[in-house]
Structures are given as C-alpha cells and as structure tokens.
Amino acid sequence: MPSFDSDPDSDSDTCSTPGPDSDSDSDSGDDPGPDFDAQVRNAFPELEHIDDEDLRDRVVEAWVLGLERGGWRDVEDIPYAWNIHEVTNVEHVRGVTRIALESVREQRDFHGADPDVDTVVAACLLHDVGKCYEYPEFVDDDLLAEPDPRYVSEEIPHSISGYALAHEVGCPLAVQRAIPHFLGEVPTRTLEAELVKSANSASSNAITQAAMDLTLQEWVEEYSQTS
C-alpha cells in the first residue's frame, strides 16, 4: 500500500498528488517477475517425499534457474513434448515420480531391496527440468518473457541440460547420474537410475498412447530429436 505523509483528514488533492521525485506504486522499482520458488513447490507436492531438506531445496533451485533462464512465466506452460502440448511437463514429471515411488515400495516390501528414496524422488523431479531450456522454441511467444540464448536451445537434449542444472546446484552425484535417463548416456546405472528410467518409460508410454495412439518407441522413432 502507498504511504502518505498528509493527515488522513486532509483534502484529497493534498494526499493524492505525488512529489516531483516520487513514483506511483505501479512504477516504483523493477517488476520482481514470477515467484518461481512458490510455483515449483506448488506444482510438485512430491517434494515432500524428500526427507533431506537441503536436497529438497536444491531440486527447487534447479527448477527456478531453468525457468528463469528459459524465459518462462509459469512452470505449468512447459509441454510434455515439442509436439504434445495437451499434456504438461509437470503432469509427466509428477507421474514419473509417483510411479517410481510405487516401485520403491514393491522393491522394498516384496523383493527386500533398499533403493534410496531421496535419490529416486529428486532424480525423478529433475529428470526433465532440462525442458526449460529445450522447449521455449516450441511454444507461443506470449508464454515467455526473455529466454536467455546462452542456455536455450533445442540442440542439447534435456536430459543432458537437466544433469547440468543438478550439477550446478550441488545435487549429490547419485542424483546427477540418474538424470541422463536415455539409453547410452550413463555408462553404469544404479538401482535408483534404473527406477527413474523405467518410471519415465511407463509415464511416457501412457502419454503418447493417450495423445497420439503411439507407443513411446513409435513416437521416438518418428518424432524424437535424439532418435
């Protein structure tokens, strides 16, 4: 709320006329832009499955950096794929995380394995953060502010730029190595990395079938920039 030095009972002309050096509330300071931190935390309630608060914050930080540099206004505007816009990247990322969490429960309870939940959830939530950089060229201009050309490009696969973001914000190596989920990009996979890869395939197959009546493999062969 703007503040006034005049007495509240003084006439309206006195209290509404700004001085020569003052600005109206709407003109003062720079536009702070979107609150990406709040957007990300609201978009991904699965963050609460990460027990380590520091890791949780690093996941959010990676998304905030990606959104800022990608020039996005809203995390919900990023599509699942360059040619599938009816499904958002947020829906896919959440789906991957939810599928992976179910797999973790089965691996623990039924098979007696012990995957690290924090690593799995963090990597799932970050596995497609690189789409912040890859997909600005495939959406309407009114969804974007000012994409940073130092980062934005369809030439770099989003799993690689996602790994770079996770590395930049200091995510543990176990999380970083689980993000490049496309076959051949990681020489040795961990149990957690395999969970991310399989959950990604499960979610993606559901989306490509529902949206285009294609299996994921069929979509990759016909449309993927990395095929």
Considering the domain boundaries, does residue 9 fall inside one? no
Considering the domain boundaries, does residue 11 fall inside one? no
What pLDDT shows up at residue 3?
A: 39
Considering the domain boundaries, does residue 10 fall inside one? no
Considering the domain boundaries, does residue 82 fall inside one? yes
Are 154 and 174 contacting, i.e. CB atoms less than 8 angstroms apart?
no
Compute the residue count for the chain.
227
The dihedral through the CA atoms of 13, 17, 19, 22 has a sign that is positive
Cα–Cα distance measured from residue 119 to residue 154, given in angstroms and rounded to the nearest whole number? 27
Considering the domain boundaries, does residue 56 fall inside one? yes
Residue 81, beta-bridge partner list: 84
Are 193 and 177 contacting, i.e. CB atoms less than 8 angstroms apart?
yes
What pLDDT shows up at residue 183?
A: 53
Q: What total of structural domains would you count in the chain? A: 1
Coil, helix or strand at residue 55: helix
CATH of the domain at 150: 1.10.3210
Cα–Cα distance measured from residue 50 to residue 23, given in angstroms and rounded to the nearest whole number? 44
Q: In which residue ranges of the chain is pLDDT below 50?
A: 1-28
Tell me the per-residue pLDDT of 167-205, one tens digit each, with 9 for 90 and over: 999 999 999 999 986 655 566 789 999 999 999 999 999
What pLDDT shows up at residue 1?
A: 40
The identity of residue 102, as a single letter, is E
Cα–Cα distance measured from residue 133 to residue 174, given in angstroms and rounded to the nearest whole number? 23
User: Whole-model pTM?
Assistant: 0.84
**Phi, psi angle pair for 214, to nearest 5°:** -130, 145
The dihedral through the CA atoms of 109, 202, 227, 166 has a sign that is negative
Cα–Cα distance measured from residue 41 to residue 22, given in angstroms and rounded to the nearest whole number? 36
Cα–Cα distance measured from residue 168 to residue 113, given in angstroms and rounded to the nearest whole number? 31
Residue 90 sits in which domain range?
34-223
Beta-sheet pairing, 84-88 with 79-81: antiparallel
Tell me the per-residue pLDDT of 76-88, one tens digit each, with 9 for 90 and over: 999 999 999 999 9
Cα–Cα distance measured from residue 27 to residue 126, given in angstroms and rounded to the nearest whole number? 37
Considering the domain boundaries, does residue 210 fall inside one? yes
Considering the domain boundaries, does residue 12 fall inside one? no
Q: Which of 141, 143, 217 is nearest to 183 (CA)?
A: 217
**Phi, psi angle pair for 137, to nearest 5°:** -75, -10
> Which of the 8 DSSP states describes residue 137?
G
Considering the domain boundaries, does residue 16 fall inside one? no
What pLDDT shows up at residue 146?
A: 94
